[in-house]
Structures are given as structure tokens and as C-alpha cells.
């Protein structure tokens, strides 16, 4: 199977879009697809509008980790719910989405790091998770091919993995089967607002009437909102992944140290990346958002590499229009699939470092390299909220590199925000107003 997803994948759901519905979901990534699924289950007529292909941006380019380990405490109950959904959904599709419970391990290179991971166990215990600390010998036993010894690790056996490029389209298939409509190649240019509230959307195929809209636009969300006068300091950062060819496997979960994160894939290869490192193309929205990122930059000055300018057409490129008329071709149609060139030096380094880290696995041969643009936030936790200034609009964005695993949980929560059903989780941490209400910033764990 080819992965990740590109624009040359034939559309599975070409439309046409209906003229009227109960809810429009903008964006066919994991968050949008899962929101639509749960809205359909709630009896709503729901349409997902995707400008390119389902899951073709970060939802097929991520690591494929479904983890509770290391999460921000306020995300834990939602990702636990998501894990239950993942297990159920994997049974509700006849596609093997590669869901396996193989665990996630954070390797501690120093005692200080070990102590930091250990501190997170308080949260694990509060939720009865099976996370535990491993000493140096236990770590070597869990991951037998490691070339060096670590101070230890934190390990969560209940964590899972899946193949994102298979899983998210499979979830879209379930949503369609349960009554949702999915339309690819259909960009939303903007909201149709009447009397100060949502009346629908204006798409490249015309107007769709709907009293409720959910924006799950990933890296494009801030640009979309800016056109409607809503500022959200959401940026997008490039993250490179390199996939190896199939090779010997010992440990089949996900693991990371400071240099390399790896996940065993269903096809027998490994996906490699570097946690805690991303690249930001600086543009006007980055400047506008800068004051919100000071805390993050101070805490981790080397976590983000700054690049002078985004390629043309990117959400925060200098030349990208910030406003346009409803009958103008929008930036979303001009860039159907955001497919950043990977950092090839980083990819080569990852391959070398993985070979050094796990010499017993044999020769590390690259299969393919890609990059994605991760929608991120100053405090590294998402925005999941109703937009007070525009009644009828709900936003789920800024998943900050950990949206795949939590996707079904966030989708169910977003659906509940729309229907008024019980949300079941405290969303205070994820409110949009936190960037303007004077509250102190609390950083979540890294991207
Ligand atoms: N982006 C790094 C962590 C992987 C994940 O939880 O999806």
C-alpha cells in the first residue's frame, strides 16, 4: 500500500455536495471524519467537505501512535475514550487498520529525564493506567536490540498503534455507512453568516445551508478563522518522517529517545521521526502570534527550527491572501493537499541514528520519506470549543502532533458540542478564550 496520501489518490467520495444539511464539517482529517461519524450516530444530517483527499494532510502523515502515555492531564480522559472507540471502530470496518496494542516507551537518557517521566506517573495512577517505570535492565529486555544502555524508561503497555493512511479513510467509510456524506475536492471558501450567526458555508461548488459548522481544518484553521475576524495563534510546523523497508523486529510498539522516535508498521518496516523537533516557516501569522509563543520558546529554545519563508501557497506564506470574496478562488483550492518537501538531511540522519540505536535489526534501508505540517498551539494543547463570536461555529484544531490517537475521542466531544449532548469531559483547558482572557499559560507536553 502506498503511504502517506497524496493528491494523486483518486477521490473515493467525489460528491456532489447537498444544498442543505444539519451540520457541515470542514476538513476530512481524523478530527473531521470522527466528528461526522458521531454526528451521524446522533441522528444529524452531516456533510464533511474536504478540499483535497480524506486524510491527505497530517492525518496520514503522523506517527500512527495511539497513546495515553505522556499526555497532558486534561487530554487523558479523552484519549482513554478514544482508545475505546478505536477498538470498537476497528471491528466495525472490514479493513485491517493495523490496530495493535504493542505499547509506547519513552527512553530516559539521563537520571533527570527518568525523574521527569516518573513524575507523570501521578497522572497515570489517577486514571488507573498501566504505565510504569522500567529500570535499565528492564528497558534492555523490553527492546532487546538497543545498542546503548538507558537510565530506564516509562512504558505503557496499553498504548496502541495503527496505520493512519488506512485507518482514517476506513473511519470515513464507517461514517458514510452510518449516514454521513463525505465530499472530496470541495473547498469551503468561508462561512455564510446571516444575522450574526452561521447559516451555512460557501464552497467552490456553491452555497450549502446549515445552522451548524465544525471547523476541523488542521493547518488551515487559523487562516480560515482570520477571514472571519477570529484570531487564533495556531501555527503549523513541518515534521519529517522516514519509513524503512521491512526488517527484523523485536519490540513492535512505539519508542523514542531524544534523537529518534520509531514505530513498527504493519508492513514490517519502521517509521522514524524525531520527537520534540519541528520546523516553522515564519510568516505574518507567526509574527502576529509570537507573543503567545514566548513561554514555549523559553522552555525549549531549540525545539523549533525557524525557516525564513514558507513556500508559495502555504497557510502562512507571505503571499497567501488573508481575505477573499466568496466568488474568488480561495487559498484552500490553490493548495488541495499540503505536501511539504521533507527535510532530507534530517531523514538521512534519522536512518543513521536508528541504525546505531538498533544495530541488531539488520541493514536499515529507506523506503520513502515525507513531511507533514502539524497544526500546533502556543501551549501545545488543542482548541476544542464553540466560537462565542459566531454562534453555530465549533472549532477543533491545534492538535499539536498528537491528534491521530485522540481523534475519535475529540470527534465524539465535538459532536456533543454541536448537539448539546453531554460532553463528559472538562474542556476548560481547550477553550478558545484562553489566549485573550489573561490566563497564565501552562505548557502541555511537547509536539
Ligand atoms: N507527535 C509525536 C507524538 C506522537 C503521537 O502521539 O501521535
pLDDT for position 157: 98
Which atom of ligand 1 lies closest to the CA of 400?
A: 1
Q: Are 59 and 372 in contact (CB under 8 A)?
A: no
In 3D space, the residue among 193, 244, 253 whose CA is nearest the CA of residue 364 turns out to be: 244
- Please give all residues whose beta carbon lies within 6 A of any atom in ligand 1, as ranges: 62-63, 65, 67, 275, 401-402, 404-405, 447
Supply the pTM of this predicted model. 0.97
pLDDT for residue 446 is more than 90: no
* 263-285 per-residue burial string, b: 16 or more CB within 10 A, e: under 16: bbbbeebbbbbbbbbbbbbbbeb
Please name each of the domains of the chain with its CATH number.
23-435 (3.50.50.60)
Inter-residue contact 236 to 219 (CB < 8 Å): yes
User: Which residue's alpha carbon is nearest to atom 6 within ligand 1?
Assistant: 402
Angstrom distance (rounded) from CA 185 to CA 15: 8
- Residue 62's pLDDT band, with cuts at 50, 70 and 90, is very high
Query: By alpha-carbon position, which residue is closest to atom 7 of ligand 1?
Result: 402
Locate all alpha helices (DSSP H) within 306-445, ordered by sequence: 331-334, 344-357, 403-419
- The H or E element containing residue 89 is helix 76-91
Checking if the pLDDT of 383 tops 90, the result is yes
Q: Which residues contact 94 (CB under 8 A, 6 or more apart)?
A: none
Q: Where is average pLDDT lowest: 176-180, 358-362, 419-423?
A: 358-362
**What spacing in Å lies between the alpha carbon of 62 and ligand 1's midpoint?**
7
Q: What is the pLDDT of residues 107-151, one digit of tens each?
A: 999 999 999 999 999 999 999 999 999 999 999 999 999 999 999
Q: Among 62, 70, 258, 408, which residue has the most ligand 1 atoms within 8 Å of its CB, making it the best to mutate? A: 62
CA-nearest residue, atom 3 of ligand 1? 402
Q: Which residue of 30, 31, 58, 65 sits with most ligand 1 atoms within 8 Å of its CB, as the best mutation to test the pocket?
A: 65
* Share above pLDDT 90 across residues of the chain, in percent, rounded to a whole number: 97
Q: Report d(CA 200, CA 255) in Å as an integer.
A: 44
Cis peptide before 169 (omega within 30 of 0): no
Element (H, E) at 271: strand 270-273
pLDDT value at position 353? 97
Mutate which of 241, 262, 402, 409 for ligand 1? The one with the most ligand atoms within 8 Å of its CB, which is 402
Question: How many Cβ atoms sit within 10 Å of the Cβ of residue 30?
Answer: 31
Q: Tell me the torsion sign for CA atoms 103, 124, 97, 244.
A: negative
Q: Positive or negative CA dihedral for 29, 35, 38, 43? A: negative
Summarize pLDDT for 212-249 with one digit per residue, the tens.
999 999 999 999 999 999 999 999 999 999 999 999 88
Q: Sign of the C-alpha dihedral, residues 367, 264, 57, 45?
A: positive
Give the separation between CA 18 and CA 40, rounded to whole angstroms.
Answer: 15
Amino acid at each position: 500500500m502506498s503511504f502517506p496520501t497524496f493528491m494523486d489518490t483518486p477521490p473515493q467520495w467525489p460528491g456532489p455536495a447537498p444544498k442543505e444539511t444539519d451540520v457541515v464539517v470542514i476538513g476530512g482529517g481524523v478530527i473531521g471524519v470522527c466528528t461526522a461519524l458521531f454526528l451521524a450516530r446522533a441522528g444529524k444530517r452531516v456533510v464533511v467537505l474536504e478540499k483535497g483527499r480524506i486524510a491527505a494532510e497530517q492525518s496520514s502523515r503522523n506517527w500512527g501512535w495511539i497513546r495515553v502515555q505522556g499526555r497532558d492531564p486534561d487530554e487523558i480522559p479523552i484519549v482513554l475514550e478514544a482508545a475505546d472507540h478505536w477498538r470498537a471502530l476497528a471491528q466495525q470496518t472490514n479493513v485491517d487498520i493495523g490496530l495493535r496494542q504493542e505499547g509506547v516507551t519513552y527512553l530516559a537518557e539521563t537520571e533527570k529525564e527518568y525523574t521527569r517521566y516518573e513524575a507523570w506517573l501521578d497522572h497515570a495512577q489517577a486514571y488507573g493506567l498501566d504505565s510504569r517505570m522500567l529500570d535499565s535492565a528492564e528497558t534492555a529486555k523490553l527492546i532487546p536490540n538497543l545498542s546503548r544502555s538507558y537510565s530506564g524508561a516509562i512504558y505503557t503497555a496499553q498504548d496502541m498503534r495503527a496505520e493512519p493512511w488506512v485507518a482514517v479513510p476506513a473511519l470515513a467509510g464507517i461514517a458514510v455507512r452510518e449516514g454521513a456524506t463525505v465530499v472530496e475536492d470541495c473547498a469551503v471558501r468561508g462561512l455564510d453568516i446571516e444575522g450574526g450567526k452561521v447559516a451555512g458555508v460557501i464552497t467552490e461548488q456553491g452555497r450549502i445551508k446549515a445552522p451548524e459548522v465544525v471547523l476541523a481544518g488542521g493547518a488551515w484553521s487559523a487562516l480560515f478563522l482570520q477571514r472571519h475576524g477570529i484570531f487564533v495563534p495556531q501555527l503549523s510546523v513541518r515534521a519529517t518522517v522516514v519509513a524503512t523497508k521491512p526488517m527484523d523486529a523485536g519490540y513492535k510498539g512505539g519508542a523514542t529517545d531524544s534523537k529518534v522516535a520509531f514505530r513498527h508498521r504493519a508492513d514490517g518496516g519502521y517509521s522514524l521521526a524525531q520527537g520534540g523537533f519541528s520546523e516553522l516557516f515564519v510568516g505574518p501569522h507567526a509574527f502576529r502570534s509570537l507573543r503567545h509563543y514566548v513561554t514555549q520558546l523559553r522552555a525549549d529554545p531549540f525545539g523549533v527550527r525557524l525557516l525564513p519563508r514558507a513556500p508559495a501557497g502555504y497557510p502562512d506564506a507571505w503571499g497567501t491572501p488573508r481575505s477573499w470574496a466568496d466568488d474568488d478562488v480561495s487559498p484552500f483550492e490553490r493548495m488541495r493537499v499540503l505536501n511539504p518537501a521533507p527535510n532530507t538531511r534530517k531523514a538521512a540522519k534519522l536512518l543513521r541514528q536508528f541504525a546505531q540505536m538498533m544495530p541488531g535489526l539488520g541493514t536499515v534501508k529507506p523506503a520513502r520519506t515525507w513531511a507533514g505540517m502539524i497544526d500546533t498551539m502556543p501551549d501545545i494543547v488543542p482548541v476544542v470549543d464553540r466560537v462565542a463570536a459566531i454562534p453555530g461555529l465549533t472549532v477543533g484544531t491545534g492538535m499539536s502532533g498528537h491528534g491521530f490517537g485522540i481523534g475519535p475521542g475529540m470527534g465524539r466531544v465535538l459532536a456533543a458540542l454541536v448537539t448539546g449532548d453531554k460532553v463528559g469531559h472538562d474542556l476548560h483547558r481547550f477553550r478558545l478564550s484562553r489566549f485573550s482572557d489573561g490566563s497564565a499559560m501552562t505548557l502541555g507536553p511537547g509536539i
